[in-house]
Structure 1
Amino acid sequence: MGAKKDREQRLLLLLTKRHDYVTSEELAEHLETSQKTIYRLIKKINETSGGGLIQSEKGRGYKLNYEKYIGQTTIQPSQRSQYSPQERRNRVMEELLLSSPQTKNVYNLFEEYYVGESVIFSDEQLIAEHLQQYDLKLERKQRTLAILGKEANIRRAIADLIQMHNIIEIDELKNNAELNFNHFDVLFILDQIKLIEKELEMTIPYPYNINIFSHLYILIRRLRKVQHLSNNELSPLSEKEQERLEQDQALYQVAKAAIANVENYLHNRLPEAEVYYLYQYLTSSRMQGSLSKVTKFSTRVVELTNKYLAGMSERLNISIKGDSIFLDLGNHIKPMINRLEHGIHVKNSLLDQIKMTYEMIFLYVTEVSAEISQEFSLPKINEDENGFITLYFARIIETNQLPIRTVIMCTTGVGTSELLRVKIEKKFPELEIVDVIATRDAQRFTEKYPGIDLILTTINVSDTISVPSLLVSAMFTRDDQNRLQKKIEAIYDER
């Protein structure tokens, strides 16, 4: 995603979090840019969306028209007359990857983009640099180009190029014109996933079903392009790999049946390694169904899960424990370890929103993941994985939201303050009123009650007290109640 598009997306995500108007100054501060840039971004977004997506009101700022945001449709690539330089390079790279190791004529690759020799040369350099992260090489011979490398690396590069990770409902793949997929291939692969689920008596949820779909789709496209695959990684299975296949006979048999169906579909024989690849995707997927198959944890899984729970409990300053929490997170950690060890990357389509909405939780998860990678000698746990784990802890906080520890402060601490206490406890059960104090005790209460989240006071609080406060009347009017509700929401958002 380009820098401008990235800023536009971040701006929209920020506005989705707010239910009221946000000033340009605040938007500029959050996006670390200037107010002029904010004005330009909003103008551009409204122009491309047909107007009215971001509403403005003088003196109040900007607000998202949420209904329009949810219902808006994106411009399909097929509707555009031109491709951006990045899109051009991606399309050329995809064609070369699918055809690897076959060579392709340079003129044929670039003729539809109407670019000159200098642009082609520049694209080649950038494509070659991009491929290095996959241990792949772009080779040029006279007027031809080819990508060389191991089959597993080629497929990993193709998977990262195919933009299907904004799809959440797998059935959307049937009619999504943006993906430009072969309709018959899509239906065939969806049938294979349904058969796998039926045989296992389980459901493969998002994003794992999308990942398996991507793997099979790439396999079919590769076979159509090259008819046979490189022997670099498709040689007979080693004894160790064969042992792994035998570890779960149910997964092995469904993987074998699915690959046999692909062979019949394409009238092309495939090596046993293809069964092993699909088997690895299945063992790297979380499945919902028989608890007897998903709650058997190795010692390593138990240790990693406990490490996450302990690390996040310490950072969030709350106690996170219980069998249901442990099982839920453990069932994610178990296939995650397999993904890390076999280089299987699951895209997280909600990553930007997760990072924006649960910023601190994501940061803490990233820290714990770094410690775990080092302690357990695992490959680096990437942002997509950290995003998935963040949701588990966000859900724990959302569903088990800790009460807001509150002190009520009045001039005397008695009389009207007790009446205020009764009214607040009745209207706002999420507040834990730990004490009602007099103004003269204001400087000492922080020592007596550490960890106070909010002060409700009938008089102005001294600037020396760092605890958030809200000034209310002793009668606790409707306006006071509305302001307190907004204050509670702000405290929960910060958590």
Structure 2
Amino acid sequence: MTFEERKQSLLEFLSQQDNYLSSGTIAKKLKISKRTIIRYVDKINRDCDNNKLIISEKGKGYRLDYDKYLEEKSNTKQISDFSPVERRNEILLKLLMKSPRKISVDYLFEKFYVSEAVMNGDLTFIKSQLSKYKISIIRQNRFVGVMGNELAIRRALLRYVPRINDIDEELLNKDFSLLNKYDMRFVVEQFHSIEEQLNSIIPYPYNINIFSHLCILINRYRSGIEVSSDDSDFDINGQKNTIEANGYLYQISSKLINNFSSYLGHELPNQEKYYLLQYLISSRLFSNSENEPNYSDEVEKITYQIIETVLDNYKGSISTTKLKIELINHIKPLLNRIKNKIFVSNRLLPDIKNEYSEIFEIVKIAVNKIFIQYFGETLSDDEIGFITLYFAKAVEQEIKSLCVLIMCASGVGTSELLKVKVHRAFPDLKIEDVVSLRQYRKNSENYDKQIDLIISSIVLNEVVGKPSILVSAMFNKNDQKNVERLIRELKNK
């Protein structure tokens, strides 16, 4: 395990605690020595310009400055220098973006100041990662490139593009350097046009996947890449059946790709319409058409088997009234993602594993057993994490609502889970709504008339009309203490 990985484990563990812990207790939990704990704490605090993120007190031990931690965690700039994982991911991204062209090894590594041995080690590691997508790495003298069919390149790119939280043009131009600001503005407009045609906000993580796909599309054509019409993964009969079954989504996809053709001054092939359709049908889209849900026998059977298997192994009680409806809505696009080999990244995975470790492990065993039976393969931890949230919400369920607005990056399961946890911790609070920052902006005047407080899992870098407090999406003990303190201050005004 690298320093960066152990550092994150240390910070995540301390974020779950609401008092001081001795170095011995921490060392035992993380399975490292007391001396290593002291060294890590010192480096973490130095990386924060000695603005102590971890507070130490003789005779008591260590405690995380939780407010600073939330700020640092929400800030896209890293506390430390590039980790080996970050370095390899950036190099891999550059190679995929330029495929099939070769790039100078010196250019790839110039900003990292690493030795020849490290360069060779990184390229060997990248070769093993790309082999999973049937993409090969080609080295010639001091140049290196990658080769594979276009669909494989796109899938790998989607796995390694920088992760973002929401589709906000201002933040994207600042933190997401995949496109220039003009192309970015165009992609944002096209993404929002999908939501308008669906008459719905697309929730996380599907919004990020669709948006990233569109960014990759425009980047590839900007680089002069031509998509061949004989892609081996392109099943003509399967394509026709999918289009017929999803006529309205295909209309949206066709219109969007035509817009991209006009913008780029280059007619894009019909495959692009189908590629985008795959992402649409692999996402949980909320629109009027979902008032009459249509699920295959396979979707229903797998959903019920998961619930039954988890219930058989979980000792506590789980409310299944809403669980079945919510989970089946998640499983339907999940099966499409498996079929289309579409990867989703779960930025909350470390928090989910920490906060709901028991439920996560039970869900993982149950889901993988069922997916091996049906598909001959296990599911990624990212996907397991999303499924876990539905069970965690069911476990946390109940408590009547008692005025706050909860603000999240538009999410699947996570926003509703946060709502339930706030209910449970503060039953006297009346929760008016759960919204994204974009939704709040559109209707801020009305919201501000109804609410007294905003509880947000995203950093609000702008003035909002009411007092607000930043919390983690898992709403742990530290978050509860901070909310309780703010409520007390508001009541005493």
Tell me, yes or no, whether TM beats 0.5. Answer: yes
Distance 1:294-1:177 versus aligned 2 partners, 3 A rule: farther
Q: How does 1:136-155 map to 2 (within 5 A)?
A: 136-155=135-154
161, 176, 179: which one pairs with 1:179? 176
Q: How does 1:107-186 map to 2 (within 5 A)?
A: 107-110=106-109, 120-164=119-163, 167-171=164-168, 174-175=171-172, 177-181=174-178, 182-186=180-184
Paired amino acid for 1:288? F
| Distance (Å, rounded) in 1 between the aligned partners of 2:213 and 2:394 | 32
| Distance (Å, rounded) in 2 between the aligned partners of 1:228 and 1:87 | 29
Distance 1:25-1:244 versus aligned 2 partners, 3 A rule: same
Structure ranking higher on relative contact order (CA contacts 8 Å, 6+ apart):
2
| Distance (Å, rounded) in 2 between the aligned partners of 1:389 and 1:60 | 38
342, 351, 354: which one pairs with 1:353? 351
Q: How does 1:302-321 map to 2 (within 5 A)?
A: 302-318=300-316, 320=318
| Distance (Å, rounded) in 2 between the aligned partners of 1:174 and 1:184 | 14
| Distance (Å, rounded) in 2 between the aligned partners of 1:229 and 1:24 | 56
Q: Does 1:259 align with 2:292?
A: no
Distance 1:88-1:45 versus aligned 2 partners, 3 A rule: closer
Distance 1:65-1:265 versus aligned 2 partners, 3 A rule: same
CA contact (8 A) 1:100 1:226 kept: no
**Residue aligning to 1:328:** 326
Distance 1:71-1:96 versus aligned 2 partners, 3 A rule: closer
**Residue aligning to 1:268:** 266
| Distance (Å, rounded) in 2 between the aligned partners of 1:391 and 1:195 | 29
Paired amino acid for 2:165? I
Paired amino acid for 1:215? H
202, 205, 209: which one pairs with 2:203? 205
Gaps of 5+ in 1: 402-429, 431-485, 490-495
Q: Does 1:39 align with 2:31?
A: no
Match of 1:147, SS state, is: strand
Q: Aligned-pair distance for 1:85?
A: 5.4
**Residue aligning to 1:455:** none
Match of 1:258, SS state, is: helix
Distance 1:74-1:385 versus aligned 2 partners, 3 A rule: same
CA contact (8 A) 2:187 2:215 kept: yes
Paired amino acid for 2:158? A
389, 392, 409: which one pairs with 2:390? 392
Distance 1:321-1:55 versus aligned 2 partners, 3 A rule: closer
Distance 1:374-1:210 versus aligned 2 partners, 3 A rule: same
| RMSD, aligned CA | 2.9
Paired amino acid for 2:70? I
Question: Under a length normalisation based on structure 1, what TM-score does the superposition of the two structures give?
Answer: 0.74
Q: Aligned-pair distance for 1:214?
A: 0.7
Gaps of 5+ in 2: 400-426, 428-476, 481-493
Match of 2:145, SS state, is: strand
Q: C-alpha offsets along residues 95-153 of structure 1, whole Å, 9 cap, x if unaligned? A: 22112122334455455656665554444333322321221111223453321111121
Paired amino acid for 1:171? D
Match of 2:202, SS state, is: coil
| Distance (Å, rounded) in 1 between the aligned partners of 2:176 and 2:328 | 34
Match of 1:211, SS state, is: helix
Distance 1:259-1:329 versus aligned 2 partners, 3 A rule: same
Question: Under a length normalisation based on structure 2, what TM-score does the superposition of the two structures give?
Answer: 0.74
**Residue aligning to 1:482:** none
| Distance (Å, rounded) in 1 between the aligned partners of 2:48 and 2:249 | 46
CA contact (8 A) 2:138 2:144 kept: yes
Paired amino acid for 2:26? L
CA contact (8 A) 2:309 2:366 kept: yes
| Distance (Å, rounded) in 1 between the aligned partners of 2:99 and 2:250 | 28
| Distance (Å, rounded) in 1 between the aligned partners of 2:105 and 2:314 | 55
Q: Aligned-pair distance for 1:319?
A: 5.0
Q: Aligned-pair distance for 1:296?
A: 2.0
CA contact (8 A) 1:174 1:186 kept: no
| Distance (Å, rounded) in 1 between the aligned partners of 2:366 and 2:286 | 26
CA contact (8 A) 2:150 2:231 kept: yes
Q: Aligned-pair distance for 1:186?
A: 2.2
**Residue aligning to 1:70:** 70
Q: Aligned-pair distance for 1:315?
A: 1.6
CA contact (8 A) 1:103 1:144 kept: yes
**Residue aligning to 2:245:** 247
CA contact (8 A) 1:287 1:294 kept: no
Q: C-alpha offsets along residues 333-359 of structure 1, whole Å, 9 cap, x if unaligned? A: 110111111110110000111111110
Q: Aligned-pair distance for 1:297?
A: 1.5
Match of 1:18, SS state, is: coil
Match of 2:305, SS state, is: helix
Match of 1:226, SS state, is: coil
More off after superposition, 232-241 vs 340-349: 232-241
CA contact (8 A) 2:173 2:181 kept: no
Distance 1:294-1:270 versus aligned 2 partners, 3 A rule: farther
Distance 1:3-1:301 versus aligned 2 partners, 3 A rule: same
| Distance (Å, rounded) in 1 between the aligned partners of 2:113 and 2:99 | 24
Q: Does 1:103 align with 2:102?
A: yes
**Residue aligning to 1:14:** 13
